[in-house]
Structure 1
Amino acid sequence: MVTAERARLSPRLSLVLLASILVSFLAASAAPTPLYGIYQERWHFSPITTTVVFAVYAVAVLASLLTFGKLSDHVGRRPVLAVAIAVQMVSLVVFIFANGVPTLLAARLVQGLAAGTATGAVGAAMLDIDRARGTLANSIAPGIGTGSGALLSALLIQFLPAPTRLVYVVLLAILLIQALGVALMPETVTPTAGARRSLRPEITLPRAVRGPVLVVVPVLFAVWALAGFFGALGPALVRALMNTSIVVGGLVLFVFALFGSVAVLLLRNSAARTVMLTGIVALILGMIVTLVSVMAHSVIGLFVGLALGGVGFGGGFQGSLKTVMPLVEAHERARVLSLMYIVCYIGFGLPTVIAGFLVVYAGGLPRTADEYSAAVILLALVALFGVRRATKMAPG
């Protein structure tokens, strides 16, 4: 018994492990982004198919969050994480052997199920260990994971053999190490009854957070819609403006995610309202710059818009978490966090598919990028109105 206890990870190491798992899952979700062009050339599909493949992931995440989002509150964080990692590894194997659109869709479906299962559990586990650092890690990990996954994939494609397989092999090795870490991590909750009942999909929120959640919904939707667009069509947009390498295309998500992560770090000690307003303003400015840059065919301007959009993503997402999660009881964390991620992934997937149809049937990628930017600006203005109204109505 003493040996087993000594083998357990410390709370600090457990927090690092959990954050790394979230990073790995987001990196795995972003890894196919630089590959879509290669897949498209090999299997001859349209931008609509690209966005559908991208959105299948979001749909699977939604289904998984609705079904398994509360499970770790009842059975514990470790069992749910262990299963999620195993399922994610299966998805990477399917990617490695993908030979057409059907297997690509299957890989994204399995990957989404794994990500949805893990998201609530890993996020809640970090909050269990340290609420302040857990909130910061929940905010910064998506940006780090998304950016590193896209850039790693692009670099491996450009400079090493087996471009459609190697990145998935690397991710498999990382996940295997993390699975061993989960086995050594202490459980952060006491299992309770009701696990089977928790699998019934329901969308309910504790009364204390219903108002704050309504305030942050437009922000979450807007910033994740932007992430979805750049994740699915960003590299293609860069190629449309300038015929360039896969690495430059991979930099689209990296720059977006890097500046999002920097914003989270710089704003980590600021009040939730300040973080939200900073994110919204940066989002509006970023989309204005993007709109002008696409019209002027300026790649440099596009990357400036990406950087500002990344600040908007980091600030908007972190501000939303800081607004809601401090009001949530420990036994409700996974449920509330899962419901917030449901909003995120609806924004991540649905507008992206619409964008794919617009690319094919309504004027091409640059025009679609302009329309998408305008739509995000409108959403950000709605979010700004909501935050300011909530501030005026708050008791003084």
Structure 2
Amino acid sequence: MASVTALRSRRRLPVLGRRGAFRLHASALVALLAASSAPTPVYALYQAAWHFSAMTLTVVFSAYVLALLVALLTAGTLSDHLGRRPVLAGALLAEAVAMAVSAAAQGVPELIAGRILQGLATGVATSAAGAALLDFEAPDRPGRAAVANGIMPVAGMALGVLASTALVQYAPAPTRTVYLLLLVLFIAQAAAVRLTPETARTESGTWRPVRLLRFLQLLRPTITVAPASRPGLALAAPGIVAAWALGGFYSSLGPSLARLIAPHAAHATGGLVFFTLTAAAGLAGRAARALPARTVSLAGAALLIPGALLTLAAPHLHSLLALFAGTALAGAGFGGVTQGALRLLLRPAAPGERAGTLATYYALSYLAMSIPVVLAGLLTNLYGLQTSVALYGATVVALTLTGLIRAAHLPRKA
């Protein structure tokens, strides 16, 4: 018996320590969000090759977001029940398959199929990885996981746009190279997840046939927010909606706006618009770590207003400088809103409520990102890009002002 135990011990995979596991899950969030934004600079190449409209572009963009929403609402809590490790590893492998589909795309239908699969995988993976960051947070560094959950996604989006922009400019086969590199990364991360300890209190036997009904019940669409986190959500929700609506605008229509202002600028200019947004968001989120979460969230929402107004003015001024300045302000606001909101939501949540609360946050965020972008694409087709930008910006400003006024009347402890 002792020899069998020793053999099993030798066969057991090595386990990463707390610090290594934390870094691995942070890198997974970066990679997942890098993959979400990487196609942004490539869209111009797709449009030139396949001759589709701005409306088609927003449909491609929204296919990913809507698939992600479905995953968040149905499978966002899976890692709370089945374990962080199997759920995240499986989702990362699915993400790798999505990269393969996108790399092989020969037209819009295949591109949409790849983005749908990517959205489903990302929805499952982000909630699991984000919850794992909280599980592996060092006891002597409280709050680090909430900060990482706020910074790593926007840092990933910035890195994805920057790397993809460089590949579009300099690499061969730019519509394939970025996806193939991400494919290799996701496979490596899925393998590395097996080296981490399991932190969720799993339901034993969930995968057995007798547990099939319970598993299907877990996949019912649900909105789960930890009771202690609900006051924070009430405070931050308007800012979250406004920030992610602006993020969707810069991601999908930012390159088109740059071309409208400077038709002869390099292709890289369009991708740098979204990079500016996400880089400013990451820097602002990092700089605000020591400030109270409520202050960070509300200050970030306030910054969205001048950012949107300056972006609105850029086409009339025919100024790329105004566009990038407005984008940087909006990005700083985006970073403040997301970091403050996540701290308000995640700190009070119990371990078994973390993945569900994160899934709800992401569902609200991506819903706010997708619906306005589809409407903006439709308005662009009907009335032109400048009119669409004006209506979009005015709506974001009105929503932000409403949220700030409402927040002033909420209890101070919210």
Superposition TM-score tier, normalisation by shorter sequence: over 0.9
Q: How does 1:12-91 map to 2 (within 5 A)?
A: 12-91=19-98
Equivalent residue runs for 1:161-310 within 5 Å: 161-192=172-203, 195-242=215-262, 243-310=264-331
* 1:106-138, Cα deviation, whole Å (9 max, x unpaired): 011000001001111011110111151111110
In structure 1, the partner of 2:161 is: 150
Q: Residues 229 and 344 of structure 2 are in contact (CA less than 8 Å); yes or no, is this contact kept in structure 1?
A: no
Displacement of 1:197 after TM fit?
A: 2.5
Q: Kindly state the Cα deviation for residue 6 of structure 1 after the two structures are TM-superposed.
A: 8.2
Q: Verify the 8 A CA contact 1:294 1:369 in the aligned structure 2.
A: no
Question: What is the aligned counterpart of 1:129 among 132, 136, 157?
Answer: 136
Aligned length: 393
Aligned to 1:345: 366
| 1:178, distance to aligned residue in structure 2 (A) | 1.1
Q: Which structure: larger Rg?
A: 2
In structure 1, the partner of 2:345 is 324
| Structure 2 counterpart SS, 1:155 | helix
Q: How far, CA to CA, are the matches of 2:158 and 2:27 in structure 1?
A: 14
Deviation of 1:215 after TM superposition, in Å, equals 2.1
**Would the alpha carbon gap of residues 4 and 258 (structure 1) be closer, same or farther in structure 2, given more than 3 Å must change?**
farther
1:333-386 alpha-carbon deviations (Å, 9 max, x no partner): 111110111100101111000000011102x11221122111111111122123
* In 2, Cα distance between equivalents of 1:6 and 1:169: 28
Q: In 2, distance between residues paired with 1:195 and 1:127?
A: 24
TM-score, with structure 2 as normaliser: 0.92
Q: CA deviation at 1:154?
A: 1.2
Distance 2:124 2:183 in 1: 18
Residue 390 of structure 1 aligns to which amino acid in structure 2?
Answer: L
TM-score by length of 1: 0.96
The gaps in structure 1 that reach 5 residues or longer are none
Residue 198 of structure 2 aligns to a residue whose secondary structure is coil
Question: Residue 199 of structure 1: CA displacement?
Answer: 1.4
Q: Deviations over 1:145-174 (max 9, x none)?
A: 111111111111111110110111111121
2:140 paired with 1:119: no
CA distance in 2, matches of 1:353, 1:89: 27
Q: Contact 2:97–2:183 at 8 Å: present in 1 too?
A: no
Secondary structure of the residue that 2:16 maps to in structure 1?
A: coil
What whole-Å deviation, never above 9, does each CA across 1:251-285 have from its counterpart, x for those lacking one? Answer: 11111111100111110111011101220121112
Task: Assess, with a 3 A threshold, how the Cα gap between structure 1 residues 2 and 337 changes in structure 2: closer, same or farther.
Answer: same
The 8 Å contact of residues 273 and 387 in structure 1, kept in 2 or not, is answered as: no
CA distance in 1, matches of 2:109, 2:215: 33
Change (3 A) 1:4 1:312: farther
Counterpart amino acid of residue 52 in structure 1 = V
Shift in Å at residue 247 of structure 1?
1.5
For residues 291-348 of structure 1, the C-alpha deviation after alignment (integer angstroms, 9 at most, x for no partner) is 2223212110110011111111100011111112112111011111101111001011
The answer (yes or no) to whether the contact 1:280–1:312 under 8 Å persists in 2 is yes
Q: 1:264 to 1:361 in 2, by over 3 A?
A: same
Cα distance in structure 2, aligned partners of 1:3 and 1:232: 51
Is the CA contact 2:226–2:350 (under 8 Å) kept in the aligned structure 1? Answer: no
Name which of structure 1's ranges 45-54 and 288-297 shifts more when overlaid on structure 2: 288-297
Greater displacement, 381-390 / 72-81: 381-390
Gaps of 5+ in 2: 1-7, 205-213
Q: 2:98, 2:114 within 8 Å by CA — same for their partners in 1?
A: yes
Partners in 2 of 1:133 and 1:179 — Cα distance? 23
Q: Provide the aligned C-alpha RMSD in A.
A: 1.6
